[in-house]
Structure 1
Amino acid sequence: MSDSTAKAWAAIEAHDAPRIETLFEDDGRHERFAFDAAHLHFDFSKTHLDADLVAHFEALAGATDFVEQRRALFAGEMVNVTEERSATHVAERGEGGREDNEMATRLRNRMRHLIDAIEAEAFGEIDAILHIGIGGSALGPALAVDALGRGGTKLDLRTVSNIDGEAMDEALIGLDPGTTLVIAVSKSFSTTETLENVEAALDWLSGAGIEDPMAQLIAITANPERALEYGIDETRILPFSENVGGRYSLWSSVGISIALALGWDAFEAMLEGAAEMDRHFKLAALDKNAPFLAAASDLFYVHNRGSQARAFFAYDERLRLLVPYLQQLIMESNGKGVTAKGAPVDRATAPVVWGGVGTDAQHAVFQLLHQGTLVMPIEFIAVAENEDSQDPRQHRQLLLNAFAQGAALMTGKESEDPARAYAGDRPSTTILLERLDARSLGALIAFYEHRTFAEAALLQINPFDQFGVELGKEMARAIDDPEARDQFDASTRNLIEKAGL
């Protein structure tokens, strides 16, 4: 760590932030820490951020070459140093390097042609999609279609990620094998869980009398050669760039299920919303840059207040899948123990990400948030306009609950009865969408991507590899070999025996 980096961190860790209520004695506080970006409203004023703390993080940004790291990301240069490649998800939105943008456009056009063929019934009549993937290969499409398809979809989308047969059984309920298109998404096209589920889907089609099940299978992969070897026709393979990470891949050919279920215009609107957030992150001054300020707030609570958890609560049922999406994005990206140069990190990296949906969460976990001994930053995500068919007063109450929770966490309440006392000074951020549509959802997801990148850049870690998921997979393959089981511990061998494996 350089002297300037160490000095910046020392200033952050020594920062003595007053109570949040005290910060509001500055009449200009809300104006400074609440603003609009890419048609989203961000309110950081109920955090402990102040001018001095932001200045400390700007100093850290200078010491860690944050601006240069951001430039390299958008230029398509090598930022994934452990795998010696760039990270080109922004190119899918037209904000990357020229060659990456051109490749993204070519592959998107190829996806559009295949969608046109499907909609022209080149695959026969199709009324449902069975989308098979795991991690980023499934979470993005599932989130987008669940959030935006409540008013009806062009095709019924079912997503399967878990290798548990119960997941496949549930996904197949009510589907007609003759009118279901199977979309298999695997970056390497060697992911065990995904290929097992593909085999199960092909067995289902075959068992229903479909003469050529492979004719109803489309592969989305960065390794088209493996898909060809699997037996999938070249015209049914959609590639995407090897430099697009799985958890950043919904913008690529992986988004075909979004485009089929919601329509091409909706998919393009998601891309446009994400591109707006790209431009904001790339061009806005750091003290008015939403991803940067969010990252600064996050890192302050980890390194100054020792908060090893971060909670997200969506006050909109349509965003019920947001927390699982964020769990993978944040913890797989920044749950690292070494720097980008391979040295052990000397401070905490990603906290545990959890959360739920309001108002359900208020009656489940908010007791701990208001009065528990664990103090952690909380994020509320809400939507101003409702589109449900119920009395508007319900949506009004939903929003009032969200805003009241933030106010109550901040102010607390004194009481002579300790059991009824609330300490307050508990931080929260609120993100308010005017409406939940494809454009705003795209901007919201891109915000979280850039926030994750900003944290990684300031921590000097690599957010684009995920070697930590590999060891368990390797051992699962080894444990399946009876002759290799002697190498495992007595507990593991006994569990295998008890399960009859």
Structure 2
Amino acid sequence: MSDSRTAAWDQIEALPQASLSDLFAGDDARVDRLSGRIDWGEGEDAAGIRFDWSKTHLTADLLDAFDGLAEASDFAARRAELFAGEPINVTEGRAAEHTAQRGSGSEASVEEADALRTRMQMLVEAIREGALGDVNHLIHIGIGGSALGPDLAVDALTRDLAYVDCHVVSNIDGVALEEAFAACDPATTLVAVASKTFTTIETMTNAESAMRWLREGGVSDPHGRVIALTANPERAVEWGVDETRVLPFMESVGGRYSLWSSIGFPVALAAGWDEFAAMLEGAAAVDAHFRDTDGRDNLPLRAAFADQYYARVRGCQTRAVFAYDERLALFPSYLQQLEMESNGKRVTSNGEPVDGPTAPITWGGVGTDAQHAVFQLLHQGTHMVPVDFIASIAPGDALDPAHHAILLTNCFAQGAALMAGGNMSADGKDPAREFPGNRPSATILCDDLDAATLGALIAFHEHRTFANAVLMGINPFDQFGVELGKKMARDIEGGAAEFDASTKALLEASGLG
């Protein structure tokens, strides 16, 4: 670590640790100072998200010190490299150009992304107009980012209306694929195969099984029902997909950042092209804010300040995310990959050991269900767990408004209770009924949960993840940690390696040895 970064961390760690209640006492400006909005649209189409970090332990002094850390970490330069399409993924020697899919990046990359998106739009519209016959179902096969993003977006945006019944399958466990088969008619089903390399073993094994299912269901040309989503179009054509139904995306778009590319095909087909375009527009608004705003006023960077404070100074090993909206049920799972695969590293971009904790374990659930499952630990357990609450002012249902009022009341009350604490016994002395309080939370409050808002939420967390990486000095865009287990699985299949006694016994017990 450079001397300037060491000095910045020394300053951060030396600052006093006041309680949240004390930080609020006598500071009428705290909420305004630690809250901010990102907006998009105009007139009746204007909307946005409020980000309130006032219930965290951030202070003016901490923000000053973290501004110093960002400067010492060359945050502005790293951000400029990201948006310029520089090879910021140093271990793999390539750029990370997911923002170019949304209009921010090098001119050549933005033009290429536009052309590929136009190609996808034309295919989506052709399918909707009957070019491939009746299409009532889509089975989308992928894994990791090729599945998590589409699954989240389709689930969030098609609750009221789906033009096509979409099933996202990622697990190699055949039960998952059989469940999709049972819900679909082969004669009216398309299969989207999403793989950056078009060689991913789980995806391609599932794809082969889907071809057999189509054939056994009376489809004479199963490969004629396939849409390939890949950065390796030649491989897709070799596998049997007609080139007119191959939707490429750029090699510089990483898997967990690929929803904005042709990997978003199921979103465009199931929710409609306008919804997919709106999702891109919401993300672009966050891109503009992140690109053009400096220091603590940069909301993803401010969130990263809090993340780093709790992980490094307070020793918090986890961060919880609770979406008080059923449509965001898959959002914590999406963030797990985004944050833990990006920043779950042990060395810096220079190959040196990281000098402190990196990504915390991201977990969460849906409110109010989670209140009756895990909030006991959050309120009275021995762990300090920073919590993010996500909610929408506008309801997602047409039922009695009491439903949404109770939902929001619970969301806001949980944050207040975590901070304030108290004792619920009659005499205020029963330790079993005591809540220590001083437990941090942040609230992300959306005007509404529509496609643009979903895009903005995802982009916010992408940039938050990048900002954390810069502050730690690591490369968030590779993911070699997922490869070792895959290699060993291939070794087992090929009988090419010796394993420990426990693994041998398990292989023998399961009939694989």
Pairwise same-fold verdict (TM > 0.5): yes
Aligned to 1:223: 232
What amino acid sits opposite 2:140 in the alignment? Answer: H
Q: Does 2:169 correspond to 1:166?
A: no
Deviations 1:356-380 (A, max 9, x none): 0000000100000000000110000
Determine which of 453, 469, 480 is the counterpart of 1:456: 469
Question: Is 2:50 the partner of 1:37?
Answer: no
Aligned to 2:44: none
Distance in 2, Cα, partners of 1:253 & 1:460: 31
The residue number in structure 2 matching 1:17 is 17
| CA shift for structure 1 position 35 | 1.7
Query: Are 1:135 and 2:175 an aligned pair?
Result: no
In the alignment, what sits opposite 2:500?
489
1:422-460 Cα offsets, whole Å, 9 max, x none, are: 110000000001111001110010000000000001101
- Select which of 394, 414, 419 maps to 1:410: 419
1:135: Cα distance to partner?
Answer: 0.6
341, 346, 365: which one pairs with 2:355?
346
Q: After superposition, where does 1:254-403 map in structure 2 within 5 Å?
A: 254-403=263-412
Q: 1:145 aligns with which of 133, 151, 154?
A: 154
Matches of 1:291 and 1:158 in 2, distance apart? 32
Q: State the distance in 2 between where 1:174 and 1:438 align.
A: 26
When the two structures are aligned, how many residues end up with a matched partner? 499
- 1:270-302 Cα deviation digits (max 9, x unpaired): 000000000011112322211011000011000
Deviation at 1:32? 0.5
Q: 2: distance between equivalents of 1:169 and 1:208?
A: 13
Deviation of the 1:12 alpha carbon? 1.6
Partner of 1:446: 459
Amino acid in the other structure paired with 1:125 = D
CA distance in structure 1 between the partners assigned to 2:378 and 2:284 by the alignment: 35
Asked whether the 8 Å contact 1:147–1:318 carries over to 2, the reply is yes
Structure 2 Cα separation of the partners of residues 358 and 119 of structure 1: 36
Deviates more, 1:83-92 or 1:491-500: 491-500
Distance 1:346 1:285 in 2: 26
The code of the aligned residue for 2:386 comes to P
1:69-94 Cα offsets, whole Å, 9 max, x none, are 00111111111000011100000000
SS in structure 2 of the partner of residue 80 of structure 1: coil
Gaps of 5+ in 2: 40-47
User: For 1:392 and 1:113, how far apart are their aligned partners in 2?
Assistant: 40
Q: Which SS does the other structure have where 2:435 is aligned? A: coil
- Letter matched to residue 20 of structure 1: L
CA root-mean-square deviation: 0.9
TM-score (norm 1): 0.98
Amino acid at match of 2:63: V
Corresponding residue for 2:163? 154
Question: Separation in 2 of the partners of 1:387 and 1:191?
Answer: 37
Q: Percent same amino acid at aligned positions? A: 58
Question: Which residue number in structure 2 is paired with residue 434 of structure 1?
Answer: 447
Give structure 1 regions of 4+ aligned residues with deviation exceeding 6 angstroms. none
**Shift in Å at residue 230 of structure 1?**
1.1
Whether 1:189 and 2:225 are equivalent positions in the alignment is no
Q: Secondary structure at the match of 2:278?
A: helix
Indicate yes or no: 2:100 matched with 1:99.
Answer: no
1:48 aligns to 2:57 (yes or no): yes
Using the TM superposition, name which of 408-417 and 327-336 deviates more: 408-417
Question: For residue 246 of structure 1, what is the aligned residue in structure 2?
Answer: 255
1:112 Cα deviation from its structure 2 partner: 1.2
Question: Helix, strand or coil: the match of 2:503?
Answer: helix
14-23 or 37-46, which deviates more: 14-23
CA contact (8 A) 1:14 1:304 kept: no
How far has the Cα of 1:387 moved from its partner?
2.8
Aligned mates of 2:13, 2:99 — CA distance in 1? 33
Is the contact made by 1:148 and 1:437 (CA closer than 8 Å) also made in structure 2? Answer: yes
Which residue number in structure 2 is paired with residue 86 of structure 1? 95
Give, in angstroms, the shift of residue 389 of structure 1.
2.6
Spell out, residue by residue over 1:122-172, the C-alpha distance to the aligned partner (whole angstroms, 9 max, x if none): 111101110000010011111011111110111111000000001011122
Shift of 1:14: 2.2
The 2-side partners of 1:262 and 1:255 are apart by 11
Deviation of 1:17 (Å): 2.3
Distance 1:471 1:15 in 2: 41
Matching residue of 1:206: 215
Structure 1 alignment gaps of length 5 or more: none
How many Å separate the matches in 2 of 1:110 and 1:272? 18
Find the residue that maps to 1:101 and give its secondary structure: helix
- Does the residue aligned with 1:379 lie in a helix, a strand or coil? strand
Whole-angstrom distance in 1 between the partners of 2:438 and 2:295: 25
In structure 2, what is the Cα distance between the partners aligned to 1:170 and 1:176?
12
SS at match of 2:363: strand
Q: Secondary structure at the match of 1:79?
A: coil
1:313-362 per-position Cα deviation (integer Å, ceiling 9, x unaligned) = 00011100001100000000000010011111111100101010000000
Q: 1:51-66 counterparts in 2 under 5 A? A: 51-66=60-75
Which is further off, 427-436 or 108-117? 108-117
Give secondary structure in 2 for the equivalent of 1:470: helix
Q: Which amino acid aligns with 1:275?
A: A
Deviation at 1:5, TM superposition (A): 0.5
Q: Are 2:28 and 1:27 aligned?
A: yes
Letter in 1 for 2:502: S
Question: Could you tell me how far 1:497 is from its partner in structure 2?
Answer: 1.0
Structure 2-normalised TM-score?
0.96
> For the residues of structure 1 that align with 2:64 and 2:77, how far apart are their CA atoms?
18
* Whole-angstrom distance in 2 between the partners of 1:244 and 1:7: 35
